[in-house]
C-alpha cells in the first residue's frame, strides 16, 4: 500500500510541489469527475421515485421525504421540520397545501391544525431505494424479451462480423492481386457515407429479402464494417509472410492457413473489433427501429422508448433500464480490456 501511495503522490519537484504537479492533479481529478460523474448520477437516480427525480436541486443519493401514519387519515402524511413563530422547531405532518400556506398537524395531537408558510418548513429525509424501478419492467413490460433480442442480435452479429471482416482482411493483406490498394481505399471511403444516405435502398433490399420484422434484418446489413476490415488488415500486415509460405509448402489449404495460423495470431485485434462490435450492436437504435415494428421483436434500445409517451415520460424506468443495458458492455470491456492496447497499437505497424 505504501508503494501505491508513493506512486500516486510522487512529485516532479522532489519534496516541494512543482506547477506541473498541480496541473496534473487538476487535470486528472477533473477528468475523473467528467468521466464517472454522469455514471454515478445515473446509478443513484435509477433508485429514485418519480417525485424524487422531480425535486430541485437534485441529489445523487435517493432521498425521499419521510412519512408518518396519523390516526384519522387513510394515507401516510409527509413529515416536515417546521420553525414555529416562537422560534421552536417541531416535526409536523402536512395535511394539504394551499398556495404558499401548508396546513400541518402534530402527529401526536392531530386535532389541531397549524398553518405554516412553506418557507418555514423543510422535509425530513431518509434514504430509500426504489427497487421496483428494476423489478416492474421485467414483470409488467416484457423486458426479458427485449433483453434476449438484444443479446441474440449482439452475439450473432459480432460473430459474423469477426468472420467476414477477418476473411476480407486476410485477402487484402496476404494476397497479391491487381487493384488491392484500390479495393482498400474504396472500403475506407465508405466510412464517409452516413447511414441516412443508404437507409432507403438498404430498407428496400431487406424488405425484398423478406427480412422485415425479423431479427436477421437487423443483423445482416451491418456485419461488414470498413473499420473492422482496416483494423484487422493493418494487424495482419505485421504477421510475417514466411509463415504463410511455410504452411503452403506443408500442403496446408488456404482455409487452414486462415483458420489455424492467421486467426490465432490476430487474437488481440479480433478482441478490439469484438468490443467495438458489441458496443455498436448493443447501442444501435435507428436501424432496429426502422426494421422492427412488432413489439415482441424490439431490442433493448427500442424497448426503452415505450416509457416515453407524448404526455408522460417515466424517467425512473428509463434510468433503471439504462443501467441494465450498460452492464453487458462493461463486462465485455472488463474481460477484453487487456487486448485493447495491444490490438490498437499493432494496427499501426507494418
DSSP string, 112-151: EEEEEEGGGEEE-EEE---THHHHHHHHHS-HHHHHHHHH
Q: Based on the domain organization, do 226 and 338 belong to the same domain?
A: yes
Q: What percent of the chain lies above the pLDDT cut of 90?
A: 14
Is residue 191 included in any domain, yes or no? yes
Give me the chain's average pLDDT, please: 83
Q: Based on the domain organization, do 212 and 111 belong to the same domain?
A: no
Q: Which of 91, 108, 127 delimits the end of a domain?
A: 127
CATH value at residue 101: 2.30.30
* Structure confidence at residue 169 (pLDDT): 93
Q: Based on the domain organization, do 143 and 86 belong to the same domain?
A: no
* Structure confidence at residue 348 (pLDDT): 47
pLDDT of 175 over the 70 cut: yes
The C-alpha cell that represents 336 in the structure block: 477484453
Q: Based on the domain organization, do 109 and 152 belong to the same domain?
A: no
Is residue 55 included in any domain, yes or no? no
Q: Model-level pTM? A: 0.74
Q: Based on the domain organization, do 173 and 235 belong to the same domain?
A: yes
Average pLDDT over residues 194-215: 88
Cα angle 129-132-138, degrees, rounded to a multiple of 5: 140
Is residue 54 included in any domain, yes or no? no
Is residue 58 included in any domain, yes or no? no
Average pLDDT over residues 284-289: 88
> With the CA atoms of 322, 327, 333 and 334 taken in that order, what torsion angle do they form, in degrees rounded to the nearest 10?
140
Terminal CA-CA length for the chain: 41
Q: Which of 127, 143, 159 delimits the end of a domain?
A: 127
* Structure confidence at residue 154 (pLDDT): 92
| Best CA proximity match to 81, nearest among 116, 115, 123 | 123
Q: Based on the domain organization, do 71 and 218 belong to the same domain?
A: no
Is residue 92 included in any domain, yes or no? yes
* Structure confidence at residue 72 (pLDDT): 75
Quote the number of domains for the chain: 3
For residue 30, give its domain range: 3-47
Q: Based on the domain organization, do 214 and 177 belong to the same domain?
A: yes
Q: Based on the domain organization, do 40 and 149 belong to the same domain?
A: no
Is residue 53 included in any domain, yes or no? no
Q: Is 14 left (phi over 0), alpha (psi -120 to 50) or beta?
A: left
Give the pLDDT band (50/70/90) at residue 12.
low
- Cα–Cα distance for residue pair 245/250, rounded to 1 Å: 9
pLDDT of 51 over the 80 cut: no
Give the pLDDT band (50/70/90) at residue 14.
low
Q: Based on the domain organization, do 106 and 139 belong to the same domain?
A: no
Is residue 56 included in any domain, yes or no? no
Give the pLDDT band (50/70/90) at residue 15.
low
| Best CA proximity match to 272, nearest among 348, 343, 175, 202 | 343
Give the pLDDT band (50/70/90) at residue 158.
very high
**Residue length of the chain:** 350
Q: Which of 104, 127, 150 delimits the end of a domain?
A: 127
pLDDT tens track for 77-124: 888 888 877 777 888 888 888 888 888 888 877 777 888 888 878 888
CATH value at residue 300: 1.10.3720.10
- Cα–Cα distance for residue pair 125/250, rounded to 1 Å: 76
Q: Based on the domain organization, do 177 and 301 belong to the same domain?
A: yes
Give the pLDDT band (50/70/90) at residue 350.
very low
pLDDT tens track for 305-343: 777 765 677 788 888 888 888 888 888 777 777 766 665
Q: Based on the domain organization, do 75 and 202 belong to the same domain?
A: no
The C-alpha cell that represents 18 in the structure block: 512543482
Q: Based on the domain organization, do 297 and 149 belong to the same domain?
A: yes
Amino acid at each position: 500500500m505504501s508503494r501505491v501511495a508513493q506512486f500516486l503522490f510522487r512529485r516532479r519537484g522532489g519534496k516541494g510541489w512543482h506547477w506541473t504537479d498541480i496541473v496534473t492533479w487538476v487535470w486528472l481529478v477533473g477528468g475523473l469527475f467528467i468521466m464517472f460523474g454522469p455514471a454515478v448520477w445515473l446509478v443513484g437516480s435509477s433508485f429514485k421515485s418519480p417525485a424524487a427525480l422531480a425535486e430541485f436541486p437534485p441529489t445523487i443519493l435517493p432521498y425521499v421525504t419521510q412519512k408518518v401514519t396519523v390516526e384519522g387519515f387513510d394515507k401516510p402524511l409527509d413529515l416536515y421540520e417546521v420553525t414555529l413563530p416562537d422560534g421552536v422547531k417541531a416535526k409536523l405532518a402536512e395535511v394539504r397545501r394551499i398556495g404558499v400556506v401548508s396546513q400541518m398537524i402534530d402527529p401526536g395531537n392531530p386535532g389541531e391544525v397549524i398553518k405554516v408558510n412553506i418557507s418555514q418548513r423543510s422535509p425530513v429525509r431518509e434514504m430509500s431505494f426504489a427497487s421496483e424501478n428494476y423489478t416492474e419492467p421485467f414483470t409488467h413490460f416484457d423486458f426479458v424479451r427485449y433483453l434476449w433480442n438484444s443479446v441474440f442480435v449482439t452475439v450473432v452479429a459480432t460473430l459474423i462480423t469477426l468472420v467476414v471482416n477477418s476473411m476480407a482482411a486476410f485477402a487484402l493483406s496476404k494476397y497479391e492481386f491487381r487493384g488491392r490498394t484500390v479495393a482498400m481505399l474504396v472500403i475506407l471511403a465508405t466510412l464517409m457515407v452516413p447511414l441516412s444516405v443508404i437507409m432507403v435502398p438498404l430498407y428496400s433490399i431487406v424488405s425484398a429479402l423478406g427480412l422485415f420484422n425479423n431479427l436477421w434484418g437487423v443483423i445482416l446489413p451491418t456485419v461488414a464494417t470498413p473499420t473492422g476490415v482496416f483494423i484487422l488488415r493493418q494487424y495482419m500486415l505485421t504477421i510475417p509472410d514466411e509463415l504463410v509460405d511455410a504452411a503452403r509448402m506443408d500442403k496446408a489449404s488456404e482455409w487452414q492457413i486462415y483458420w489455424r495460423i492467421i486467426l490465432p495470431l490476430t487474437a488481440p485485434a479480433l478482441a478490439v473489433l469484438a468490443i467495438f462490435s458489441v458496443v455498436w450492436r448493443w447501442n444501435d437504435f435507428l436501424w432496429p427501429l426502422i426494421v422492427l415494428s412488432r413489439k415482441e421483436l424490439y431490442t433493448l434500445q427500442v424497448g426503452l422508448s415505450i416509457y416515453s409517451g407524448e404526455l408522460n415520460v417515466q424517467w425512473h424506468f428509463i434510468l433503471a433500464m439504462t443501467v441494465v443495458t450498460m452492464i453487458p458492455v462493461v463486462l465485455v470491456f472488463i474481460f477484453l480490456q487487456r487486448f485493447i492496447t495491444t490490438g490498437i497499437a499493432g494496427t499501426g505497424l507494418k
